[in-house]
C-alpha cells in the first residue's frame, strides 16, 4: 500500500512540474496581454470617474478620494455585501466645507424616509441614494472648488467608520 501511495505522490509531482512549465509559458503570453490592458487603462484613467465600495462589515474600501477641479465627477457606490439596506444600508454623502461630520450624521438619523439625508439640507454637495447588498448607485456632480472635503455614509451609526476625505486638486 505504501508503495502505491509513493507512486501517486510521484505522479502528482510530475503533474505539478508540468503545470509549472505551463505557467512560465503563460507568463510570457501575459506580458503582451498586459501591454494591451495598459492602453485601456489610459482611457479609464479619468480621476473623476470614481468607484467606491461598501461592505457588510461597515467599511468603505477608500478613505481618500482625489479628483480634478473644473470637471464633472461620476461617483459609483457599490454595495458588495449581502445584507439588506434596512440593516446595512450605505450611501455616499459629500459634505460642504465646515460641516461637522458627526453632527450631520446625528441629524441624519431621523430622516430614514429620505435615505438618511435631512430634508432640505444645505450641508450636502452631493449624495447617492441608500442601497443594500448587491446594489449600485451613481451620482454625478460638478467637482467643487479645490480643497479638502469630507464624505460619509449617513446610515445610523456608520459614520464613525464609514468616512473619508475627498480632495479636489487644481
Ligand atoms: Zn453605511
156: CA distance to ligand 1 center in Å? 8
Block residue for cell numbers 510570457: 28
pLDDT for position 44:
56
54: CA distance to ligand 1 center in Å? 7
122: CA distance to ligand 1 center in Å? 21
13: CA distance to ligand 1 center in Å? 48
126: CA distance to ligand 1 center in Å? 16
> Consecutive sets of 10 residues in the chain, 170 residues long: mean pLDDT of each?
46 43 42 45 76 98 98 98 98 98 98 97 98 98 98 98 98
User: Which residue, among 46, 75, 61, 86, has the nearest Cα to 138 in the 3D structure?
Assistant: 75
pLDDT for position 43:
54
* Distance from C-alpha of 145 to C-alpha of 170, rounded to nearest angstrom: 8
Amino acid at each position: 500500500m505504501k508503495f502505491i501511495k509513493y507512486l501517486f505522490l510521484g505522479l502528482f509531482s510530475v503533474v505539478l512540474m508540468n503545470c509549472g512549465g505551463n505557467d512560465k509559458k503563460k507568463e510570457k503570453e501575459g506580458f503582451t496581454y498586459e501591454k494591451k490592458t495598459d492602453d485601456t487603462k489610459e482611457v479609464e484613467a479619468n480621476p473623476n470617474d470614481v468607484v467606491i465600495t461598501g461592505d457588510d462589515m461597515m467599511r468603505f474600501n477608500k478613505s481618500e478620494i482625489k479628483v480634478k477641479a473644473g470637471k464633472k465627477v461620476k461617483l459609483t457606490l457599490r454595495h458588495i455585501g449581502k445584507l439588506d439596506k434596512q440593516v446595512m444600508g450605505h450611501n455616499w454623502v459629500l459634505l460642504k466645507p465646515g460641516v461637522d461630520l458627526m453632527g450631520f450624521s446625528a441629524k441624519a438619523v431621523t430622516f430614514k424616509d429620505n435615505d438618511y439625508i435631512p430634508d432640505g439640507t444645505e450641508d450636502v454637495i452631493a449624495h447617492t441614494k441608500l442601497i443594500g447588498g448587491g446594489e449600485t448607485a451613481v451620482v454625478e456632480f460638478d467637482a467643487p472648488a479645490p480643497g479638502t472635503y469630507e464624505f460619509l455614509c449617513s446610515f445610523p451609526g456608520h459614520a464613525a467608520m464609514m468616512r473619508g476625505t475627498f480632495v479636489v486638486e487644481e
